[in-house]
């Protein structure tokens, strides 16, 4: 406790003495964490959107005309036993026609001239969220296509998978950019701490000569790095929150509504803790490396 | 207390700073190391502080061979040694009182003990009226008294002083020597490196003379 207090007091005094360069390194880490945080907000909301859409995913199994009741029941049973399926609903030809007329009233007249209902009966299959694993659903689709009595299977999940892949790429870009900026921030902090170390060389020499423990020699520099990182993280979060919450009512919520997303969220508490922890960690590491020759 | 056996220190290009030095300094002794510049006085003090390692021979303090000490043991050894330099080496951003208390602070001593012991040693050097001054506000003699207070604050077993009066006039030099004599009278072993023969005669203690790294005189 005495060591922590000593390290904190010395680090705070050093920050104050070199406040101009401290401001620079704190701003650098704040920018790095702001960029990382912004990417995390965007990607976490896109992921949630993909999950919401994926949760509503359906597969339509179109049946051949004239398929008998027992064969249809066998298909329904087969589908219900599949782990990817949550529910199966039979849509007869008549129901399909009624639904078409309701959805596309303008086109309904063109069907009126036909003597026979051209729309096939189908099984509307509601699927579990496929955001984690798409292979079982792909396998089910392939299997259904080969089943007797099945005319066609429609499952338009590919675009959703592409969206999820895009989100993953975007997140990777965010982490890479954030990582590069964090590295730059760590180097800036290390240089600022090294400057502080040079300024205190006379004290350090005395400390070595009186037999001060290494924790007392290096502790203030590690703490100084941690303070740079922690303050940078807090500044990044404050600016992120200010931008997010001021843009939410006028820009983000209408955008979410247009994308069928229930709401737009800020960073989760876990991500906030991770950003603060990341800032502290990068700062500590930079201070520790910079004080190797203390 | 301090024993050296055939101790040598060779710097780069084969220059001997100390050559085959065998010495014994008793516990509680006050000893002058003398000799011209480059005779090896400062090197012996640096070896005693473990700031350097001997090239040959053995250096023992309190029965322990210094070159065998682990880093943690070196720190422990240094806590039992006080040091005074010719150029004082006070930290300019601290008040002179803080300069003395700093030693206790970085050793993790609690605040109450820091203050009690610093006040105690502070009275001994007679600078009660300058506690809150900064080093630059003090004369050379006062700064050296602060440096002596810093060397004594941790109750060291040994005090090493390297030309402690090199920047001071004779009266101030004697004042500093009196501080060392007081510490010595309390049982501290004192080793002063100086080339000031006038002062050595005034203080009148055992003298070891060095020349080109060799012991040439013991009196």
Q: State pLDDT tens for residues A249-285.
A: 888 888 877 776 777 889 999 999 999 999 999 999 9
> Could you tell me where in chain A the CATH 3.30.70.3040 domains are found?
58-156
Name the architecture of domain A58-156.
Answer: 2-Layer Sandwich (3.30)
Asked whether the beta carbons of residue B91 and residue A205 sit closer than 8 angstroms, the reply is no
pLDDT score at A165: 83
Cβ B52 vs Cβ B130: under 8 Å: no
| Alpha carbon distance A222, A294 (integer Å) | 11
Asked whether the beta carbons of residue B102 and residue A203 sit closer than 8 angstroms, the reply is yes
Asked whether the beta carbons of residue A203 and residue B110 sit closer than 8 angstroms, the reply is no
The reply to whether B69 touches chain A by the CB within 8 Å rule is no
Cβ A220 vs Cβ A6: under 8 Å: yes
Q: What is the separation of C-alpha A71 from the centre of its chain, rounded to a whole number of angstroms? A: 44
Residue in A205, A208, A210 closest to B107 by CB: A210
Asked whether the beta carbons of residue B76 and residue A2 sit closer than 8 angstroms, the reply is no
Q: How far is B215 from chain A (nearest CA, A)?
A: 26
| Alpha carbon distance A100, A94 (integer Å) | 10
Q: How far is A214 from chain B (nearest CA, A)?
A: 9
Average pLDDT over residues B159-167: 89
Which chain B residue lies closest to A14 (C-alpha atoms)?
Answer: B93
Which chain A residues have a beta carbon less than 8 Å from that of B107? 210-213, 216
- The ipTM value here is 0.84
| Alpha carbon distance A275, A267 (integer Å) | 10
Which chain B residues have a beta carbon less than 8 Å from that of A203? 91, 102
| Alpha carbon distance B183, B203 (integer Å) | 14
pLDDT tens digit sequence for B84-136: 988 888 998 899 999 999 998 888 888 888 888 898 888 888 888 888 899 99
List Cβ neighbours of A105 (8 Å cut-off, separation of 6 or more).
none
**Mean pLDDT score across all residues of chain A:** 86
């Amino acid at each position: 406790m005495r060591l922590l207090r000593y390290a904190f007091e010395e680090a705070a005094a050093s920050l104050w003495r070199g406040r101009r360069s401290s401001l620079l390194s704190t701003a650098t880490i704040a920018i790095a964490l702001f960029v990382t945080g912004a990417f995390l907000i965007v990607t976490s909301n896109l992921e949630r959107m993909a999950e919401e859409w994926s949760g509503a995913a359906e597969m339509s199994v179109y049946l051949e005309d004239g398929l008998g009741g027992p064969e249809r029941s066998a298909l329904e049973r087969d589908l219900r036993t599949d782990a990817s399926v949550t529910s199966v609903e039979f849509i007869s030809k008549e129901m399909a026609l009624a639904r078409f007329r309701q959805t596309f009233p303008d086109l309904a007249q063109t069907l009126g001239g036909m003597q026979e209902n051209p729309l096939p009966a189908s099984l509307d299959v509601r699927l579990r969220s496929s955001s984690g694993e798409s292979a079982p659903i792909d396998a089910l689709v392939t299997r259904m296509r080969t089943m007797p009595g099945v005319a066609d299977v429609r499952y338009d999940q590919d675009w959703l998978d592409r969206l999820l892949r895009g989100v993953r790429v975007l997140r990777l870009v965010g982490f890479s950019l954030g990582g590069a900026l964090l590295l730059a921030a760590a180097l800036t902090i290390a240089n600022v701490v090294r400057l502080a170390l040079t300024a205190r060389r006379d004290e350090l020499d005395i400390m070595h000569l009186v037999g001060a423990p290494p924790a007392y020699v290096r502790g203030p520099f590690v703490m100084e790095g941690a303070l740079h990182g922690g303050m940078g993280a807090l500044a990044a979060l404050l600016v992120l929150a200010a931008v997010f919450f001021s843009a939410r009512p006028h820009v983000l919520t209408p955008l979410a509504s247009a994308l069928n997303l229930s709401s737009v969220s800020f960073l989760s508490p876990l991500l906030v803790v991770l950003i603060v922890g990341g800032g502290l960690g990068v700062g500590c590491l930079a201070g520790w490396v910079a004080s190797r020759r203390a | 207390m301090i024993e050296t056996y055939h101790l040598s220190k060779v710097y780069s290009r084969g220059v001997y700073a100390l050559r085959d030095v065998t010495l014994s300094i008793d516990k509680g002794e006050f000893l002058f190391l003398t000799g011209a510049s480059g005779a090896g006085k400062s090197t012996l003090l640096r070896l005693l502080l473990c700031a350097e390692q001997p090239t040959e021979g053995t250096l023992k303090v309190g029965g322990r061979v210094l070159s065998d000490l682990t880093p943690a043991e070196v720190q422990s050894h240094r806590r039992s040694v006080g040091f005074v330099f010719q150029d004082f080496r006070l930290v300019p951003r601290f008040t002179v009182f803080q300069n003395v208390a700093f030693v206790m602070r970085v050793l993790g001593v609690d605040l109450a003990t820091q203050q009690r012991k610093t006040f105690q040693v502070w009275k001994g050097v007679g600078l009660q009226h300058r506690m809150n001054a900064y080093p630059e506000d003090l004369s050379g003699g006062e700064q050296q008294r602060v440096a002596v207070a810093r060397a004594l604050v941790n109750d060291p077993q040994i005090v090493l002083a390297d030309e402690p009066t090199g920047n001071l006039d004779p009266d101030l030099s004697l004042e500093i020597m009196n501080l060392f004599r007081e510490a010595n009278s309390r049982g501290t072993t004192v080793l002063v490196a100086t080339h000031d023969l006038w002062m050595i005669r005034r203080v009148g203690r055992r003298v070891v003379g060095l020349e080109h790294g060799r012991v040439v005189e013991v009196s």
